[in-house]
Amino acid sequence: MPRLLLSDAAKTLKPKLEFFNSIGLSDPDLAKVISRDPFILMLSLENRIRPSISFLKAILRTDSDVLNVIKRTTRVLNQDPQRRIAPNIALLRTIGVPDDNILKLVRRYAITLLMDRFSEIVEEAKKMKFDPSQYQFIRAIEVLKNWGWSEKETSMAFRIQPAFMSLSEKNIMTTMEFLVNKMGYDLLQISKTPVVLNLSLEKRIIPRISVIKVLVLNGLVNKTHSLHSVLRLSDKVFLEKFVMKFEEKIPELRNVFQGKMNDSVKLVFKSSLDVDTEAAKAEIKRIKEEEELAMHEALGLAPKRSGRPQGNRLNKHEFWELVKRGSTAEDLGAGHAKAAHVQGLGFARAPRSGGMEVSTSLPTSQRDASPERVNAILPKPQVQNTKEESSDDESSWKKRKREERRHEKHVDKRHEKRVERKHKKRDKRHSRDSDDKRRHRKDKEKWRHDSD
C-alpha cells in the first residue's frame, strides 16, 4: 500500500502496533494479521480500532476470544460494529436466539454478522423450520452463507440427513472444500446426498474419489458415477468393482485406494484436479501451433512434412478455411504477407451474399486496382473450388435430409404397429370380459328359473 509507506511511523504506525501488543496480540500473530490486511494500520485508532475492540469485549467477555476473532478476520475492525454487527445481533435476539448461541456465532462466524443480506439468510433459515432456540439454526445460517445453498437445497439436505447440521465446522468445511473446490462436484448433488458429509474424509472419501479419478483419467470408467453410488458401497464391493477389476491395467490402483500413492500416481492425481482446464489449454495451444505450421508450409516459409500435399500454394481446403476465419496478410505478419504477395494469394474476408470482399491488407497498388486486376490476384480455380464445395455441401445436406425422413418414417411405422398391437390387446380383453359377462348372465337366469 503506497499510503502505508508514506505514513509517519512514529505518529501513525507505532501507536497502533503498541495498542495491538497491549491487548495480547503477539508479534508473530500481529505480523500475520497485518500481512493479510495492511489496511488496518490506516484505520483511526481512537475512532475505529478502540471502539471495535471494546464492542467485541462487551459481547465475548474475554480477551482471548477477542484475539481469536481478530486473527480469523480483520473485517470486524474495518466495519463500524454499531452500524453493522449490533443490528444483526438485535435481530437474532428478537426471533428468540439465546445469548449463548449468539456468543458462539460471534466467536466462530463473526464475518457472517457483517453480511449485507444477513436478514435474508435468517429468514431463509426460519422458512426451513429451523428452531431459533437451537444451535442448528446458527449452523444453517453458516451453511447458507458459506456455500450459497438455496433454501430448497439446505432444507433437502436437512430433511434427508438431519444429523449433518450437528457436525463440527471443521468437518463440514474441509469435506465441502475437497468435494466442491478441488473435485468439482455440484452443490445440488451434495445436498441430495448429505450423508457424504458424515463420512471420514481421509479414510473413505479421498481414497475412493482418488481411485475413480485415476480410472477416469485412463479412460477406464466414465464420469457418470454419482457421489453417492461411489461412497455408499462397502469396502469389499468397491474393491471388486473399481480396484481388482482394473488392477492388471493399473497396478498402482490398490496403493491409491490404500493412500500409498507413489510419486508418479500422485503427480497424475494432482494434475487431475485441474485436468479440464489444463487439457483445454493444451488442446488450444496444439491447434494454434498446427495451424501456424500449416500456414508456414503452405506459404513456402517452412519445409513440407511427409504425408502432406506438396506444392507452393494452399490447397482449396486450406485456402478457404483461412478465408472463412477472416485471415488476412496482416494476420500472418510481414514475412507471411510477403510470401502471400509473391505467390499471388489475395487474402480476403469470408464470402458474403454480394460476392467476395477484398481485404484491405493487400498492398496499395492492389487495393486501388480495378476489379479485373483484383480478379487476376484472386485465382479463378479457387472460386471454382468454392462452387464445388458448395455443391458437395448441398448434396450432403440433401442426403442427410433423406436419411432423416427415412428414419422418421421408420419411427412412425414402429409407433403405428405398437398402437395397433395395443388396440388388439384391448379389444381382445374387452371381448373376453364380454363373454364372461354373458356367461354369468345366462347362469344367473338359469339359476332364477330353477328357483322358480
* 24-54 confidence digits (pLDDT tens): 988 888 888 888 888 888 888 888 899 989 9
What pLDDT was estimated at residue 394? Answer: 65
Least-confidence region, from 255-269, 282-296, 300-314, 377-391: 377-391
Tell me the average pLDDT of the chain.
Answer: 68
| pLDDT for 123 beyond 70 | yes
344: left (phi over 0), alpha (psi -120 to 50) or beta: left
Please state, in angstroms and rounded to a whole number, the distance separating the CA atoms of residues 279 and 273.
11
Please state, in angstroms and rounded to a whole number, the distance separating the CA atoms of residues 330 and 362.
8
Q: How many CB atoms lie within 10 A of CB 82?
A: 11
Residue-wise pLDDT tens digits, 408-435 = 777 777 777 887 888 787 777 777 767 7
Query: Which DSSP string do the residues of 318-355 spell out, in sequence order?
Result: HHHHHHHTT--TTTTHHHHHHHHHHTT---BPPPBTTB
Which DSSP symbol is given to 397?
A: H
What pLDDT was estimated at residue 234? Answer: 84
At 186 the three-state DSSP class reads: coil
> Are the C-beta atoms of residues 243 and 260 closer than 8 Å to each other?
no
- Residue 113 banded pLDDT, cuts 50, 70, 90: confident
> Residues 63-72: what's their mean pLDDT?
88
Please state, in angstroms and rounded to a whole number, the distance separating the CA atoms of residues 211 and 46.
57
More confidently predicted of 335 and 59: 59
What pLDDT was estimated at residue 302? Answer: 58
- Residues with Cβ within 8 Å of residue 232, at least 6 apart in sequence: 195
What pLDDT was estimated at residue 349? Answer: 36
More confidently predicted of 417 and 150: 417
> Residues 149-174: what's their mean pLDDT?
60
| pLDDT for 14 beyond 50 | yes
| pLDDT for 449 beyond 60 | yes
Q: Rounded to two decimals, what is the model's pTM?
A: 0.38
Place of cell 478457404: 320
What pLDDT was estimated at residue 168? Answer: 61
Q: How many CB atoms lie within 10 A of CB 249?
A: 10
Please state, in angstroms and rounded to a whole number, the distance separating the CA atoms of residues 392 and 400.
12
Q: Name the packing angle between helices 118-127 and 135-147 (round to 10°).
A: 120
| pLDDT for 205 beyond 50 | yes
At 358 the three-state DSSP class reads: strand
- The closest alpha carbon to 206, from 230, 242, 241, belongs to 230
| pLDDT for 235 beyond 50 | yes
More confidently predicted of 161 and 62: 62
What pLDDT was estimated at residue 408? Answer: 74
- The closest alpha carbon to 320, from 338, 298, 301, 335, belongs to 298
Least-confidence region, from 193-207, 228-242, 394-408: 394-408
Place of cell 498402482: 252
Determine what percent of the chain is predicted with pLDDT higher than 90: 0
Please state, in angstroms and rounded to a whole number, the distance separating the CA atoms of residues 184 and 182.
6
> Are the C-beta atoms of residues 81 and 117 closer than 8 Å to each other?
no
- Residue 269 banded pLDDT, cuts 50, 70, 90: very low
- Residue 250 banded pLDDT, cuts 50, 70, 90: confident
| pLDDT for 165 beyond 60 | no
Place of cell 491409491: 256
| pLDDT for 326 beyond 80 | no
More confidently predicted of 15 and 389: 15
| pLDDT for 153 beyond 50 | yes
- Residue 141 banded pLDDT, cuts 50, 70, 90: low
> Residues 317-332: what's their mean pLDDT?
48
What pLDDT was estimated at residue 3? Answer: 59
**Phi and psi at residue 352, to the nearest 5°:** -115, 180
Please state, in angstroms and rounded to a whole number, the distance separating the CA atoms of residues 293 and 327.
15
Residue-wise pLDDT tens digits, 370-423 = 444 434 434 444 444 444 555 566 677 777 777 777 777 777 777 778 878 887
Which DSSP symbol is given to 9?
A: I
Residue-wise pLDDT tens digits, 330-363 = 444 444 444 444 344 443 333 333 443 433 434 4
Determine what percent of the chain is predicted with pLDDT higher than 70: 52
> Residues 65-84: what's their mean pLDDT?
85
Cα-atom radius of gyration of the chain, to the nearest Å? 37
